[in-house]
Amino acid sequence: MSDKPTPKTRVLGTLSALPSSPSEAVLDKVVNPHLDTKYVARFSAPEFTSLCPVTGQPDFAHLVIDYVPDQWLVESKSLKLYLASFRNHGAFHEDCTVAIGKRLFELLEPDFLRIGGYWYPRGGMPIDVFWQSGTLPEKVWLPEQGVASYRGRG
C-alpha cells in the first residue's frame, strides 16, 4: 500500500445527480494498491451517448478505455457519471473520444492510456476514433479491445 494519502472522493458514497455537462462532471481518483505491479485496467461503455452538435440527434458508441496505472486509479462511479454527462452534450465523435482520453490522462498520470471510440453509423458511415498517450511498459499484456467490426464493413 502507498504512503501517499488518498484524495477525498467527492462522488463515492454520496447520492449523485447526473452532471449537466462533461465540464461540470467530477472525476475522482484513488490510490493504486499495487504500486509494485504493472497491469492494465479496462473500462467498457457499450452504451455511450452524446449529441450531434449540428442536428441535435443522439450518437451512440462503444467506448473501451485501457490504462496502466501509476499512482492512481480512476474511481468508477465518478467515471460512470462523467461518461453519462455526455448524453446532453453536443460534440463530434472525434472530440468526445479524444477529450475523454485527455481528461483521464491528465487526472491519473498513468504510464499508458488508450481509448477506442467505436461509433455506430449515422448517414451510413461508422466512425472509429482512437487516442493514446504514454508508453506501454515492457511485458504488460494489452489485449485487443474486442469490439466487433461493424457488420457493414467489407
Per-residue pLDDT of the chain (154 residues; tens, 9 = 90+): 455 556 677 766 677 888 999 999 999 999 999 999 999 999 999 999 999 999 999 999 999 999 999 999 999 999 999 999 999 999 999 999 999 999 999 999 999 999 999 999 988 888 999 999 999 999 999 999 988 776 554 3
C-alpha cell at 140: 504488460
- Give the pLDDT of residue 6: 64
Q: What are the domain boundaries of the chain?
A: 44-134
- Give the pLDDT of residue 153: 40
Would you say 67 and 40 are in contact if contact means Cβ atoms under 8 Å apart? yes
C-alpha span between 88 and 21 (Å, rounded)? 7
Could you give phi then psi for residue 128, rounded to 5 degrees? -110, 135
- Give the pLDDT of residue 123: 81
Three-state secondary structure readout of the chain? CCCCCCCCCCCCCCCCCCCCCCCCCCCCEEECCCCCCCCCEEEEEEEEEEECCCCCCEEEEEEEEEEECCCEEECHHHHHHHHHHHHHCECCHHHHHHHHHHHHHHHHCCCEEEEEEEECCECCECCEEEEEEECCCCCCCCCCCCCCCCCCCC
What residues act catalytically? 52, 59
CATH architecture of 44-134: 2-Layer Sandwich (3.30)
